[in-house]
Chains A and B, each alone.
Chain A
């Protein structure tokens, strides 16, 4: 599904963002990406959704080699992924429903099929009643649910979440995390970057820890029994 092999990433402005990162995330897996700010979590995710290219090494996502993607291929890769951010990234001047529908429209989905699919994912994230609300009328937790609904509407194989609970209070955090677990339980792989260690410890999922751009701990490698229990 997602495979990093000896990946290095240097930014033009200087600084080594990733050094020799290798891991493999299988279909349907749930993996935490942890580490301090600047450890390289976001860079790993950016490489996955082809916002950045590896300086060396190989990144393979859902059959695509990220280094070889043409600009034309990038949108097609992204349609196989769902992406969720700390700051939600909703279009402020569209309702929850329109925000979710938009992700379908860009793929050229059949117009008549869109409303039903949108309502299905909004129901799944528990926001069917607020479909007509604008982002500013929703709480942070609700906005993140809309963002998750948008990420799910294309039925992605992987959901990438970059600090999805970073802006939420404890209650909303628990709700969003539970939602991500439910999504994973229904077969979608989830890669979640977070520095909320409490959350990481609360669930028996794989943990990949980054420090200064390198993997310092991978529960699947270092404690295979935990990984096996999950597999």
Chain B
């Protein structure tokens, strides 16, 4: 084991330029992937912010007793899709209208009778904020006897749905493309490092080294390069994020698990790349 570590580290020391070059190449290919990841993360967050505004309003028949309304509110809150159901009385509806609709303030003040109905405002849990669930909940709300009408921005919810599907599709396709490019570049880099030492591998075999003995330092080295490349890529991504945040728009960075994911991805590809290259070499020599 110590021999494996020593041999792997020696390779870094013996070919510092080539090692640095491969780490840099790996770092940049993961950096590109990371940049795309940042875009995806922020896009998703923005969409989530929009989706949180999805709301269903059930207008109540005038004269519904408050006890009935409160019981109904409890029932609605018990729906699995529902995050919250809030009763807005006629008076608070008017107060809110006066507060928010400044243009009509005078008009609203002069009213003799409150024309606004009471309502229950329903917000949905994340994951249920799409057209199908919104429709289903609205339909169930209509079933309550005291509900006069149910409103939600149908068009808007459907557009949001479409946008979300599009974002997901683009994310998967472009993400996969970037990931593939990263795999190819990292694989090639690692393969070059192995090829550069093919003579050494041949000599090791002649003096009776087992395949495992030859392979282990290469695997460790490939994994280390991937790990270092991943860390550098995260550092680059953070710098890019800081610049964007400062000069362009406020955005968010990867969560710790996401950042670790990129590093692990780099490490695994470094490992796999070495495994394949050395394996092919060992079969051939």
Report A's interface with B, CB cutoff 8 A.
49, 71-72, 74-79, 83, 89-91, 93, 102-103, 105-107, 150, 154
Contacts and interface: CB of A to CB of B under 8 A. Distances in A.
B209 A93 contact: no
Contact of A91 (B200, B205, B211, B213): B200
Contacts of B200: 91
Interface in B166-225: 199-200, 202-211, 213
B80 to A, nearest CB: 59
Nearest to B202: A89
Contacts of B209: 75, 106
A103 B207 contact: yes
Contact of A107 (B199, B202, B205, B208): B208
A89 B206 contact: yes
User: What is the interface residue range for chain B against chain A?
Assistant: 10 to 19
Nearest to A89: B203
Query: Secondary structure at chain B's binding surface: helix, strand, loop or mixed?
Result: helix
Given A91-B203, A105-B3, A106-B213, A79 B208 contact: yes
Interface of B: 3, 14, 199-200, 202-211, 213
Given A91-B200, A106-B207, 7 more contacts: A75-B208, A89-B199, A89-B202, A89-B203, A103-B207, A106-B208, A154-B207
Contact of A154 (B199, B202, B204, B208): B208
Contacts of B199: 89
Contacts of B210: 72, 75, 106
B203 A75 contact: no
Given A71-B211, A93-B14, A106 B206 contact: no
B206 A49 contact: yes
22 contacts: A71-B211, A74-B205, A75-B208, A75-B209, A75-B213, A78-B205, A78-B206, A78-B207, A78-B208, A79-B207, A83-B207, A89-B199, A89-B203, A90-B203, A91-B200, A91-B203, A93-B14, A102-B204, A106-B208, A106-B210, A107-B208, A154-B207
A32 to B, nearest CB: 22
A157 to B, nearest CB: 13
Contacts of A105: 3
A102 B208 contact: no
A89 B207 CA distance: 11
A93 B16 CA distance: 13
Nearest to A80: B208
Contacts of B205: 74-75, 78
Contacts of B206: 49, 78, 83, 89
Nearest to A151: B207
A107 B208 CA distance: 7
A93 B199 CA distance: 12
Given A91-B200, A93-B14, A105-B3, A150 B211 contact: no
Contacts of B203: 89-91
Contacts of B204: 102, 106
A147 to B, nearest CB: 10
Contacts of A75: 205, 208-211, 213
7 nearest A-B residue pairs (beta carbon): A79-B208, A106-B209, A78-B208, A103-B207, A75-B208, A75-B210, A93-B14
B3 A76 contact: no
B242 to A, nearest CB: 41
A76 B207 contact: no
A167 to B, nearest CB: 16
B263 to A, nearest CB: 30
A154 B209 CA distance: 12
